[in-house]
Amino acid sequence: MLPAGPIVHPGRPPPRGYDRPHPFASVQRAAAEPRRSATSPMKSAPEHVPLIRTTRGGFAECVHVGSIAVVDTQGQLVAGVGDAHGLNFTRSALKPLQALAFVADGGMAHFGFDSQMLALMCASHGGEAVHVRVVQRMLERIGARESDLRCGCHAPSYYTHSSTCPPPGARFSQLHHNCSGKHAGFLAYCRMHRQPMERYLELDSPLQQRVRANVERFAGSRELPMGIDGCSAPNYAMPLSSLAHAFCRLAVGETPELAALGYAMRRHPDLVSGTHRSDLMLMTAGAGDWVSKVGADGVQAIGVRSRGIGIAIRIADGNRRALHVATLAVLQQLGLAGDPAGTPLAPLDEGVIRSYRGVAVGTVEPTFSLPRLA
């Protein structure tokens, strides 16, 4: 059973303080527009193409558009569909880069953090008991409290992904938020550098300036659109190919800090995601070779160490089923996966639409083709 916290009842508004406005709310409207320079204007939206279609009664019903980028260790595109270089918000796929500064500055040794804690810094966890316990340990190590977090509160996503309801009377706190590990890592960075913890989400804080610099370095550009993520942290759009390259570099462990991040994620996929979650399925299937991170609204990034490639997928309308089918099709077409039956990837095989009685009533089909890589 999930641990009960003192804070929020499902279906009720969060208590005072957890719905506090973002500390830099005045920039949100401007941040919604892409940043442009006078000399190099940016495209406002990628030129996506149809990737997935659904049928019902043999007739096409829905079409989900998007793009796919597959790159090598040099960042060169080796396969792609749609706008492989178009800008897309990274959402939670950005988390390893948001944790990078803490690791690079020796934060792990400074606080005695272990790989479980590092995995939680990269996680979109399900709010299960194990996730909450690790975040609590992180806060204890740095001398912080749950109330220092600024991620807000929601019922654990475990219930959504397991199609169950919270038990009667269950109460939840910010510890159950899927991004609480990332925010605990932000607080740890501030504590280590003696920076005000209450300002850790502000765009001009040293922490967020450092995060942006790292993202710009991996994206190869200083002209990155900025927006505020669901957890109130700044988030950035980058070329889809750059996101793929970042996960390739993460998978191969290009630097000691990237190697540490990749190891933690592969070692603890259950902490990075949780029960019934796609990243757990993918990294379990990869058996230590794949590093994977999903992002809200149709983002999936995967790095494959043995092949030296990175994969980034975007479904433009954010449809989760379409993202699962596209992800499985990419892995199959690249020769990384076969028939998913009986494997950890089986739940991603959502190619048949069924009624609530279990009757097959339609299909979900990929409409793209990628080359099989040697």
In this predicted structure, what is the pLDDT of residue 97? 98
Centre a 10 Å sphere on the Cβ of residue 130 and count the other Cβ atoms it contains.
17
Supply the pTM of this predicted model: 0.87
> pLDDT at position 43, please?
53
Contacts of 374 (CB under 8 A, 6+ apart): none
Which tokens in the block code for residue 95?
């988390």
Query: What is the chain's pLDDT, residue by residue, as a tens digit (374 residues)?
Result: 444 343 344 344 443 333 444 433 333 333 333 333 323 345 567 899 999 999 999 999 999 999 999 999 999 999 999 999 999 999 999 999 999 999 999 999 999 999 999 999 999 999 999 999 999 999 999 999 999 999 999 988 888 888 888 888 889 999 999 999 999 999 999 999 999 999 999 999 999 999 999 999 999 999 999 999 999 999 999 999 999 999 999 999 999 999 999 999 999 999 999 999 999 999 999 999 999 999 999 999 999 999 999 999 999 999 999 999 999 999 999 999 999 999 999 999 999 999 999 999 999 999 999 987 76
The answer to whether the beta carbons of residues 207 and 200 sit under 8 Å apart is yes
User: Cα separation of 17 and 11, whole Å?
Assistant: 17
Residue 358: other Cβ atoms inside 10 A: 7
| Domain ranges across the chain | 50-366
Q: Where are the beta strands (DSSP E) in 250-297?
A: 290-295
CATH of 50-366, one of 3.30.460, 3.30.70, 3.40.710, 1.20.140: 3.40.710
Q: Chain-centre distance of CA 302, in angstroms? A: 11
Question: How far is it, in rounded angstroms, from Cα 266 to Cα 189?
Answer: 23
Please count the CA atoms within 13 angstroms of the CA of 346 that sit on its side-chain side. 4
Main-chain phi, psi angles of 189, to 5 degrees: -60, -45
Helix, strand, coil abundance in the chain, percent, nearest 5:
40, 20, 45
Asked if residue 156 lies in contact with residue 175, where contact means CB atoms within 8 angstroms, the answer is: no
213 class by beta-carbon count within 10 Å (0-12 exposed, 13-18 middle, 19+ buried): exposed
* Residue 330, pLDDT score: 98
Four-point Cα dihedral 58, 61, 64, 70, nearest 10: 0
- Placement of tokens 């494959």 in the chain: 304
Confirm if 100 and 214 have CB atoms less than 8 A apart. Answer: yes
Measured between its terminal Cα atoms, the distance across the chain in Å is: 46
pLDDT of residue 17: 37
**pLDDT recorded at residue 33:** 35
Q: Identify the CA nearest to 294 among candidates 317, 306, 268, 312.
A: 312
* Nearest alpha carbon to residue 209 among 191, 186, 229: 186
Asked if 217 contacts 209 with a C-beta cutoff of 8 angstroms, the reply is no
